[in-house]
Structure 1
Amino acid sequence: METKIYEASLTGDIQALNALLQQDQLILDRLSLTGFNETPLHIAAMRGHHHFATVLLTQNPKLAIALDSQRRTPLHLASANGSLEMVQELVRAGGQDACCFRDQDGLTPLHLAARNEHLEVVKALVQANSDAAKEISETGETVLHMCVSYNCMESLKVLMELWNEDELAKITDHGGNTLLHAAVINKQTQILNYLLSIPSIKANGNAVNRLGSTALDVLDQCPRDLKSLEAREILMESGVMRANDLRPLPKPSHSLMKPSQNNRKGFLSRTWARYVNDDHHWIEKQRGILIVAALVVAGMSFYSGINPPGGTITDTQNGRYSLGNAVQTEVDMDQFDQFVMYNSFTMISSLGIIVVLISGLPLRNKFWMWVLMLGTMFTMVCMVATYLRSLSMMAPDGYVDGASVWICLIWMLGCGVIALIHTVFFVVWVVMKLSKCRMPETNIKGNEDVGEV
C-alpha cells in the first residue's frame, strides 16, 4: 500500500490518495518505517503538485520537516524548483524554522532559491524568516557571498535590501573576505561594478581579509586573463589599492652628520637593506617569462651548434653520404673549437637556469637567487663571446671592427662587475647570518662564567 501512495504522488492523483487514506488512516504515519529515500511530500514538491501536497499536510503536518537521504526537506526541493505556492504551503505547515534547515551540503532552502534566481520564492522565504538570510553556510560564506560566486545578480539585489549600506560594506565570510573580495576571486565584473556603485562598499574597498590582502592583492594571485585585466581596471579606477601601498611610510630620521656623509651613508644603507630585506617576490611572478627566455637562448645555441658559421660540407664515403663537416674545420680548427666551447657553455648554462626555475625551488631564498644571477651573467658573457668568435670566423683574415670588440668587452666586463657585487653582498650576508647563530652560544658561556664568579 505504501508503494501505491508513492505512485499517486508521482502523478498528483488526489483521488487515489483519498482512497488510500480511507483504507488505512495511519498510512502516512507509517512512512518513517519504510525504506524509501523520500516521503510522498518530497516527490510532490519536486513535481509541483500543490493540491496533492495540501492534502498530505492536512493529514500529517510533520511531513513538512521530514528529511530525505540527503537531509533535504520538501521545502528545499520546492525552493530549488521555484514552486511559489508549494513553498508558501510548506512554510505555513512547517513554520519559520523550516527555512533554516540545512541539507548535507549546509545549504538552506533560501540558498537554493537564490542560486537558481527564483526571486519570488526568495522574497517569500525572507518574508517568512529574515534571519535565514543571515545564516552562514558550512563553507563559511553568507548567502550574499554565494550569490556573488554563482553570478546571481538579481538574487543579490533582493537579498541586499535586508542590510543597510554600512553593514553591507563589512559583511565577511570565515576568511575575512568581503563581497568585493568574493567578486574579484570569481572575476564577476558585472557584480563588481554594481558593488562599487554602492558608496559604503566603495569607501571600504581597501578592506583586508585575514591574510592581510585587499581585493587588488587577491586579484594579483589569480591567473591572468581578460576577465582579470578588466577587474583590475575597475578596481584601480575606484581607488582600490594594494595592502603594501596602504602602509604609512617610515618617518625620515634626522642626523647631526654632515649632508655629504649623511647622503653617502643613506645610499649604502638603503642598498644593503634592499638586499637583506627584499623578498624577490617579483621573480616568482616572472618565473614563466624567465623560463621562456632561457629556452629561447638554449634553442639559439643548439641551432648555432648544428649550423655553424659558414655552413657544412657534405661528403661521400664508399658511395654513401656522411654527415657534413663544418667549413671552418678546413680553415682554422682552433677557432672552431673555441666557437663550439663558448656555444656549449651558453646552451648548458641556459638549461641550468631552466632547471632551477622549474624545480620549484623558492626563488626568494638568497642562495638560489645568487645562483640564478651568476648563471644568467655567465650565459650572457658566453653569448657575447660566441658572437665575437662567429664574427672572427666569418671576417676576412679574422679581422673584426674595433668598436664592435670594445662594445662586447665592456658588456662582458659589466656582467662580471654585477656578478662580483652580488657575490660580495651574498658572502657578507652569509657571514652575518653565521655570526648571529653563534651569538647565543657566546652569551650562554658568558652567563655561566658570571655565575661561577
Structure 2
Amino acid sequence: METKLYEASLKGDVEALKTLLHQDQLILDRISLTAFNESPLHIAAMRRHLTFATFLLTQNPKLAMALDTQKRTPLHLAAADGNLEMVRELLRFGGQGLCGSRDHDGLTPLHLAAMNEHLEVVKVLVQVNPQAAKEIPATGETILHMCVRYNRFESFKVLTELWDDDELAKITDLGGNTLLHAAAINRQIQILNYLLQKPCIKANGNAVNRHGLTPLDVLDHCSQDVKALETRANLMEAGVLRVNDLRPLSKPLQSSIKSSDSKQKGFISRTWARYLNDDHHWLEKQRGILIVAALVVAVMSVHSGLNPPGGTISNTQDGRFELGNAVQTEVDMDQYNQFVAYNTITMIISLAIVLVLISGFPLRNKFWMWVLTIGTLFAMVFMVVTYYHSLTMIAPDGYVDVGSVWICLIWMLACGILALIHTIFFVVWVVMKLSKSKSMETQTKSNRSAIEV
C-alpha cells in the first residue's frame, strides 16, 4: 500500500491517491511509521506536482511539517527549487512557523532560496516571517554573510532592506566579522562597493573583528590577485585603515595636539611631516601606476641596449650575413662598454622595483618603502648617466653643451640629496626601534628579577 502511495506521488496522480484513501483512510497518518526517506509531500514538492500537493495538504495539513532524513521540510525543497506557487501553498497550510524550520545544517527555507537567488521566493518568505532572516544558523554566519560568501548580490540587496543602515553596519558573524570584513575576505567587489555607498557602513569601516583586524587587515591574509588589489584600493579610498593606523585619541583631542605641535615646529618640519603623513596609502593606491612606470623604464633600457647610439653595422662574410655590431665598438670599445653597463644597471633596478611591487609586500612597511624609494632614485640617476654618456658618444669630438651638462649634474645631485634624507630618516627609525626593543627587554629582565626576589 505504501509503495503505491509513493508511486502516485512520483507521478502526481491524484486519482490514484483518492483510490488509496478510499481503501485505507489512515494511510497518510501512518507515513511517519514507514521506512521511506521522504514523505509524499516531499516528493510532490521536488516533482512540482502542485495539484497533488494541495490535495495531500487538504487531507493531512500536518504533512507540511514532515521532515526527511536531512530534517528538511517540503518548504525547504520548494524554496531551493524556486517553485513560487508550491511555496505559497505550503505556507497557506503550514503557517508562519514553517519559515523558521531548520534543516540538518541549521538552514531555513529562506537561506536555500537566497543561496539559489530565487528572488520572488525570498520576498514571499521574508513577508511571511521577517525574523527568520535574522537568526544565525549553526555555521555562525548570518544570511547576509552567506550571500556575500557565495556572491549572491541580488539576494543580498533584497535582504538588506530588513535592516536599517545603522543595524547593517553592526551586523557580525560569530567571528566578529562585519559585512565589510566578509566582502574583503571573499574579494566581492560589487557587494563591497554597494556597502560603501551607505554612510553608516562607511563610517564604521574601521571596526575590528575578534582577531583585532579591520577589513583592510584581513585582506592582507588573503591570496593577492587583481581582485585583491582592487578591493584594497576601494577600501583605502573609502578611508578604511589598518588597525596599526588607528588612533585611540578622540578627534577633538587629536586636533588640539596637532595644532599645538604645529605651532612649536618650524616651517621645514611641518612641510616634511605633511609630506610623509598626509596620504598614508599613496604608494599602495599608485602600485599599478608605479609598476607601469618601472616597466616603461625597463623597456626603454632594453631598446637602448639593442639599438645603441650610432646604430649597428651588418657585415657579410663568404656571401653570408652576420648579426650587426654596434658602430661604437669600431670607434671606442671602452666607451661602448660603459654605455652598456649604465644601461644594464638602469634596466635591472627598474625590474627590481617591479618585482617588489608585484610581490605583495605591504608598502606601508618602512623598510620596503625605503628600498623602493632608493631604488627609484638610483634608476633615475643611471637613466641620466646613460643619457649623458649617449650624448658624448654621438656628439662631434665628444662635446656636449654646458647647459645640458649642468642640468644632468643638478638632477643627479637632487636625487642624491633626497636619497640621503630618506636614508637618514630610515636609520633613525631603525635605531629608535632597536633602542625601544632593548629597553623593553631590560625592563622585562628587571621585572623577572624583582619577582624572583
TM-score, length-scaled by structure 2: 0.74
Once the two structures are TM-superposed, the CA of residue 331 in structure 1 deviates from its matched residue by: 1.5
Once the two structures are TM-superposed, the CA of residue 440 in structure 1 deviates from its matched residue by: 3.6
Aligned: 1:211 with 2:212 = no
- Aligned residue for 2:127? 126
- Aligned residue for 1:412? 412
Whole-angstrom CA distance in 1 between matches of 2:379 and 2:281 = 23
- Aligned residue for 2:141? 140
Q: Are residues 19 and 344 of structure 1, via their aligned partners in 2, closer, same or farther at CA, if it must alter by over 3 Å? A: same
RMSD (Å) for aligned C-alpha atoms = 4.9
**Structure 1: segments with no counterpart, 5+ residues:** none
> Counterpart of 1:126 in structure 2: which amino acid?
Q
Q: Are residues 271 and 187 of structure 1, via their aligned partners in 2, closer, same or farther at CA, if it must alter by over 3 Å? A: same
Once the two structures are TM-superposed, the CA of residue 282 in structure 1 deviates from its matched residue by: 2.9
Once the two structures are TM-superposed, the CA of residue 49 in structure 1 deviates from its matched residue by: 3.2
Whole-angstrom CA distance in 1 between matches of 2:194 and 2:265 = 50
Once the two structures are TM-superposed, the CA of residue 117 in structure 1 deviates from its matched residue by: 2.6
Whole-angstrom CA distance in 2 between matches of 1:210 and 1:218 = 12
Whole-angstrom CA distance in 2 between matches of 1:218 and 1:432 = 28
TM-score, length-scaled by structure 1: 0.74
**Structure 2: segments with no counterpart, 5+ residues:** none
> Counterpart of 1:251 in structure 2: which amino acid?
S
Give the match's secondary structure for 1:356.
helix
Q: Kindly provide the CA deviation profile for residues 365-407 of structure 1, in whole angstroms up to 9, marking residues without a partner as x.
A: 2222222222211111111111111111111111111111111
> Counterpart of 1:116 in structure 2: which amino acid?
H
Match of 1:251 among 252, 256, 279: 256
Q: Are residues 263 and 312 of structure 1, via their aligned partners in 2, closer, same or farther at CA, if it must alter by over 3 Å? A: same
Give the match's secondary structure for 2:380.
helix
Q: Kindly provide the CA deviation profile for residues 242-262 of structure 1, in whole angstroms up to 9, marking residues without a partner as x.
A: 6789955421468799x7xx3
- Aligned residue for 1:34? 35
- Aligned residue for 1:371? 371
Match of 1:117 among 116, 119, 128: 119
Q: Kindly provide the CA deviation profile for residues 204-241 of structure 1, in whole angstroms up to 9, marking residues without a partner as x.
A: 7634463399999999x99789x99xx99xxx9xxx87
Q: Are residues 440 and 273 of structure 1, via their aligned partners in 2, closer, same or farther at CA, if it must alter by over 3 Å? A: farther
Q: Are residues 256 and 423 of structure 1, via their aligned partners in 2, closer, same or farther at CA, if it must alter by over 3 Å? A: closer
Whole-angstrom CA distance in 2 between matches of 1:108 and 1:420 = 64
Once the two structures are TM-superposed, the CA of residue 312 in structure 1 deviates from its matched residue by: 1.0
Counterparts of 1:132-281 in structure 2, within 5 Å, are: 132-137=132-137, 138=139, 140-142=141-143, 146=147, 149-152=152-155, 155=158, 160=162, 172-174=171-173, 177=178, 187=190, 206-208=203-205, 210-211=207-208, 247-248=251-252, 249-252=254-257, 262-264=264-266, 267-268=268-269, 271=272, 281=281
Whole-angstrom CA distance in 1 between matches of 2:86 and 2:422 = 74
Whole-angstrom CA distance in 1 between matches of 2:368 and 2:192 = 39
Equivalent pairs counted in the alignment come to 425
> Counterpart of 2:428 in structure 1: which amino acid?
V
- Aligned residue for 1:9? 9
Once the two structures are TM-superposed, the CA of residue 450 in structure 1 deviates from its matched residue by: 9.8
Counterparts of 1:68-79 in structure 2, within 5 Å, are: 68=68, 70-79=70-79
Whole-angstrom CA distance in 2 between matches of 1:362 and 1:301 = 28
- Aligned residue for 1:286? 286
Counterparts of 1:325-340 in structure 2, within 5 Å, are: 325-340=325-340
Q: Are residues 44 and 144 of structure 1, via their aligned partners in 2, closer, same or farther at CA, if it must alter by over 3 Å? A: same
> Counterpart of 1:362 in structure 2: which amino acid?
P
Whole-angstrom CA distance in 2 between matches of 1:57 and 1:100 = 19
Whole-angstrom CA distance in 1 between matches of 2:408 and 2:61 = 91
Tell whether the 8 Å contact from 2:61 to 2:93 is kept in structure 1 after alignment: yes
Tell whether the 8 Å contact from 1:126 to 1:132 is kept in structure 2 after alignment: no
Q: Are residues 70 and 324 of structure 1, via their aligned partners in 2, closer, same or farther at CA, if it must alter by over 3 Å? A: farther
Whole-angstrom CA distance in 1 between matches of 2:75 and 2:94 = 9
> Counterpart of 1:117 in structure 2: which amino acid?
L
Q: Are residues 71 and 322 of structure 1, via their aligned partners in 2, closer, same or farther at CA, if it must alter by over 3 Å? A: farther
> Counterpart of 2:119 in structure 1: which amino acid?
E
Tell whether the 8 Å contact from 2:316 to 2:322 is kept in structure 1 after alignment: yes
- Aligned residue for 1:310? 310
Tell whether the 8 Å contact from 1:206 to 1:215 is kept in structure 2 after alignment: no
Give the match's secondary structure for 1:250.
helix
Once the two structures are TM-superposed, the CA of residue 434 in structure 1 deviates from its matched residue by: 1.8
Q: Are residues 436 and 95 of structure 1, via their aligned partners in 2, closer, same or farther at CA, if it must alter by over 3 Å? A: same
Whole-angstrom CA distance in 2 between matches of 1:53 and 1:256 = 77
Q: Kindly provide the CA deviation profile for residues 79-126 of structure 1, in whole angstroms up to 9, marking residues without a partner as x.
A: 45565664454335444322101345654233455642326x844763
Give the match's secondary structure for 2:154.
coil
Q: Kindly provide the CA deviation profile for residues 8-32 of structure 1, in whole angstroms up to 9, marking residues without a partner as x.
A: 2233211111223445556542566
Tell whether the 8 Å contact from 1:176 to 1:208 is kept in structure 2 after alignment: no
Tell whether the 8 Å contact from 2:391 to 2:400 is kept in structure 1 after alignment: yes
Once the two structures are TM-superposed, the CA of residue 7 in structure 1 deviates from its matched residue by: 3.0
- Aligned residue for 2:296? 296
Q: Are residues 421 and 72 of structure 1, via their aligned partners in 2, closer, same or farther at CA, if it must alter by over 3 Å? A: same
Once the two structures are TM-superposed, the CA of residue 350 in structure 1 deviates from its matched residue by: 1.7
Q: Kindly provide the CA deviation profile for residues 293-334 of structure 1, in whole angstroms up to 9, marking residues without a partner as x.
A: 222212211121121111111112344322211111112222
> Counterpart of 2:355 in structure 1: which amino acid?
V
Whole-angstrom CA distance in 2 between matches of 1:145 and 1:447 = 49
